[in-house]
Structure 1
Amino acid sequence: MQSITLPAEWGLQDGVMLTFPHVNTDWKPILNEVKSCFVSIAKEIILKEKLVVICVSIDEVRDALGDIDYSKIIFCELPSNDSWVRDHGPLSIFIGNKPCILDFNFNGWGLKFPANYDNQITHHLYASKIFAPAVGYKKIDIVLEGGSIESDGNGTLLTTARCLLSLNRNESMTQFDLENVFKKIFGVKRVLWLNNGYLFGDDTDAHIDTLVRFCSRKTIAFVQCTNKNDEHFEELSLMEKELSTFQTLEGNPYQLVPLPMAEAIYYQGKRLPATYANFLIINDAVLIPTYDSYLDEIAQMSLQKAFLDKKIIGINCLPLIKQRGSLHCVTMQIPKGFLL
């Protein structure tokens, strides 16, 4: 039987995907503002690798991007409900040495939002021939969002029970069932489950990429709340205790890198799930969300400890957080060997 690997995000990449916002999405009231954020992300990515842009109008995106290196951009015109490609985009694995994309069901985070177009995007991307001829395709008939899992590329998967065991996703499946599926599909040896941790205003039921991230096989970055008056203090303290009990496959404690709990941000009277854990690892750099806060610099310096060989680059994500997501949520990396 051939081995299966779910690559870690810090592995070499061919590119990153973006699903560009448009007028027929919830972004409509702040469309120009959020487009500027997407342009900032795109410009940083093409300095390091290719960019796949899923959009309803190539001309509209070109107008937004302006004068940049279009030789690094692959356009795919497709309808979309929203811009969270982390959750509706493909997950990439290697079966032996053969690259393969997995197309899971996406149902709008447990039927919270329409997803009829987004759920078809991965299939249409594969049919559009943007991937190398050797890349395979598998449709997986369970609900899974990319933001709900973290891989160390070495057989360990990290996730949250609050998300994966929630209603309207795969409620007929137990934790044991899901672990067996992940071992079969991703080739992982074990799954580490977090039972604590959440962010107020989060629609995803505590995606792992808003709370805790693998930075290497031995290092985990996590959101730490030190303010006892913050509503997150108890849950995030319990989460930190859980993390302190986790061990690497070699039986050693993980090196834990705390990231500050973001300052409270409100929009239309509601607190938003701002987080510094929603960073994106690309070739030779890490893009971290910032929020016009004094904590931005502290978060970047903390993350630098986990990525000594990469440049930490801040991207203002205040527009993204208004729709309760951030930088990692609107991006999906494509490992080396997948794109033409």
Structure 2
Amino acid sequence: MTKTAMRFPAEWEPQSAILIAWPTEDTDWAERLGEVEDTYIALVAAITRFQPVLICVPDEDVQSYAYVRLASNRVDMDRVRFVEAAYDDTWLRDSGPITLVGGDAGGDAFVLNDFRFTGWGGKFEASRDDLLVGHLHATGLFEGRAQRRQIDFALEGGAIETDGAGTLLTTWRCLHERHPETSREVLSARLADWLAQDRVLWLDHGYLEGDDTDAHIDTLARFAPDDAIVFQACDDTNDPHHAELQAMADEIAALRTSKGTPYRLFPLPWAQPILDQGRRLAASYANYLILNGAVLMPAYGDPADEAAAAVLAQAYPGREIVQVPCRPLIWQNGSLHCITMQLPQGLLAG
């Protein structure tokens, strides 16, 4: 597999479906399952307005329950498909397949990169999550031309961001935490090879309290079409995030496109602190999900929600901006993008 043969598509390119896993009492959502189910219902309802959704469930009973919950909330069930699979939790951005396509999106080949998922460096049990891609591939869910490629290297989908044209963006904090003995140069070469990239851009700054991923890029900065970067800013000088996120903003401003020009920059507004039993939660607007014709944005019930929607409308012109209530998700240290994984156009069989 050469770089010219395969390509890592940008999230805004055509998709066949969004992959998620239904929350159950056996996941870490158990304590607040009702609230989280409501968020999942709102998410599925939003996705199915634009494209299909593929929902992992552990067994037939959960599938029947999820079907009733969704259907009773007027979700378009013609665009919902279920697949049985064992999983520890529902963060499919990090345990799902990272897919390369042959040629243009929807081309004649697919590679499902199956990296090791270690529960964010061994913080949580993840043995079933680590087997998820292999299980999904074995079910015949994907197009016959889709090959699974196991890679014995810990990497989460939320840790990487691509522009679809050969540039990868990531954070040193996360990758160094996973692979402390490996140099930046070696990491860059490996990522470029596995993910069909020409270059890797690193951010040394940026973090969010309440984030246990060691600074995943999808909570901090995202590529947008036409050489743009959307990023989480903090304009509150009294907030403990201010200095670090300002340093990150300066780093992003210094980055250059493959043509040597500055990126167009779209800073996102800062939500007021959200606390849960005294613990600050990671309410990032950068954790949005791009669909065919839309951007789903995490909403936190904060006045900044509307301002964030306006920024995303500028960064993604022509796409509808849909707010999804995500306060229940950040209780477990992630948000909207973290629980989803897009599947490129043409990948699903049938």
Q: Using structure 1 for the length normalisation, give the TM-score.
A: 0.97
Please show how residues 133-144 of structure 1 align to structure 2 within 5 Å: 133-144=144-155
Is 2:220 the partner of 1:211?
A: yes
Which residue does the alignment assign to 1:69?
76
Is 2:233 the partner of 1:224?
A: yes
Separation in structure 2 between the aligned mates of residue 6 and residue 212 of structure 1, nearest angstrom: 18
- What's the CA shift string for 1:20-44, capped at 9, x where partnerless? 1100111111101100100111111
1:212–1:277 CA contact under 8 A, matched in 2: yes
Letter in 2 for 1:45: I
Which residue does the alignment assign to 2:88?
81
Matching residue within 31, 35, 46 for 2:33: 31
Separation in structure 2 between the aligned mates of residue 46 and residue 313 of structure 1, nearest angstrom: 12
Could you say what secondary structure the match of 1:117 adopts? Answer: helix
Matching residue within 155, 158, 161 for 1:150: 161
Is 2:126 the partner of 1:115?
A: yes
Separation in structure 1 between the aligned mates of residue 142 and residue 97 of structure 2, nearest angstrom: 12
Is 2:18 the partner of 1:16?
A: yes
Matching residue within 303, 313, 318 for 1:294: 303
2:49–2:76 CA contact under 8 A, matched in 1: no
1:317–1:327 CA contact under 8 A, matched in 2: yes
Is 2:256 the partner of 1:247?
A: yes
Could you say what secondary structure the match of 1:126 adopts? Answer: helix
Could you say what secondary structure the match of 1:202 adopts? Answer: coil
- What's the CA shift string for 1:218-261, capped at 9, x where partnerless? 11001111111000000000000001110110111000001012
Is 2:64 the partner of 1:59?
A: yes
Separation in structure 1 between the aligned mates of residue 271 and residue 171 of structure 2, nearest angstrom: 20
Letter in 1 for 2:160: I
Matching residue within 271, 275, 288 for 2:284: 275
Task: Measure how far apart 1:217 and its partner are.
Answer: 4.1
Could you say what secondary structure the match of 1:25 adopts? Answer: coil
Separation in structure 1 between the aligned mates of residue 245 and residue 139 of structure 2, nearest angstrom: 43
1:4–1:185 CA contact under 8 A, matched in 2: no
- What's the CA shift string for 1:139-177, capped at 9, x where partnerless? 1110000000000000000000000111xx233322111
Is 2:335 the partner of 1:326?
A: yes
Separation in structure 1 between the aligned mates of residue 272 and residue 49 of structure 2, nearest angstrom: 30
Is 2:51 the partner of 1:42?
A: no
Separation in structure 2 between the aligned mates of residue 86 and residue 214 of structure 1, nearest angstrom: 16
| Structure 1: gaps spanning 5 or more residues | none
- What's the CA shift string for 1:299-329, capped at 9, x where partnerless? 1011111011101010010110111110000
Task: Measure how far apart 1:264 and its partner are.
Answer: 0.5
Separation in structure 1 between the aligned mates of residue 287 and residue 50 of structure 2, nearest angstrom: 19
Separation in structure 2 between the aligned mates of residue 324 and residue 285 of structure 1, nearest angstrom: 24
Identity rate, percent: 41
Task: Measure how far apart 1:95 and its partner are.
Answer: 4.0
305-314 or 64-73: which moved more? Answer: 64-73
Task: Measure how far apart 1:65 and its partner are.
Answer: 1.0
Could you say what secondary structure the match of 2:295 adopts? Answer: strand
2:229–2:266 CA contact under 8 A, matched in 1: yes
Separation in structure 2 between the aligned mates of residue 65 and residue 263 of structure 1, nearest angstrom: 32
Separation in structure 1 between the aligned mates of residue 304 and residue 78 of structure 2, nearest angstrom: 36
Which residue does the alignment assign to 1:305?
314
Aligned-pair RMSD on alpha carbons?
A: 1.1
Separation in structure 2 between the aligned mates of residue 91 and residue 7 of structure 1, nearest angstrom: 10
Could you say what secondary structure the match of 2:285 adopts? Answer: coil
Could you say what secondary structure the match of 1:9 adopts? Answer: coil
- What's the CA shift string for 1:266-288, capped at 9, x where partnerless? 11210001110000000000000
Task: Measure how far apart 1:127 and its partner are.
Answer: 0.6
Letter in 2 for 1:295: A
Please show how residues 256-275 of structure 1 align to structure 2 within 5 Å: 256-275=265-284
Separation in structure 2 between the aligned mates of residue 262 and residue 106 of structure 1, nearest angstrom: 30
Runs of 4+ aligned structure 1 residues displaced above 6 Å come to none
Could you say what secondary structure the match of 2:265 adopts? Answer: strand
- What's the CA shift string for 1:163-214, capped at 9, x where partnerless? 0111xx2333221111111121111111000000000111000000001001
Separation in structure 1 between the aligned mates of residue 322 and residue 9 of structure 2, nearest angstrom: 23
Which residue does the alignment assign to 2:135?
124
Separation in structure 1 between the aligned mates of residue 180 and residue 346 of structure 2, nearest angstrom: 35
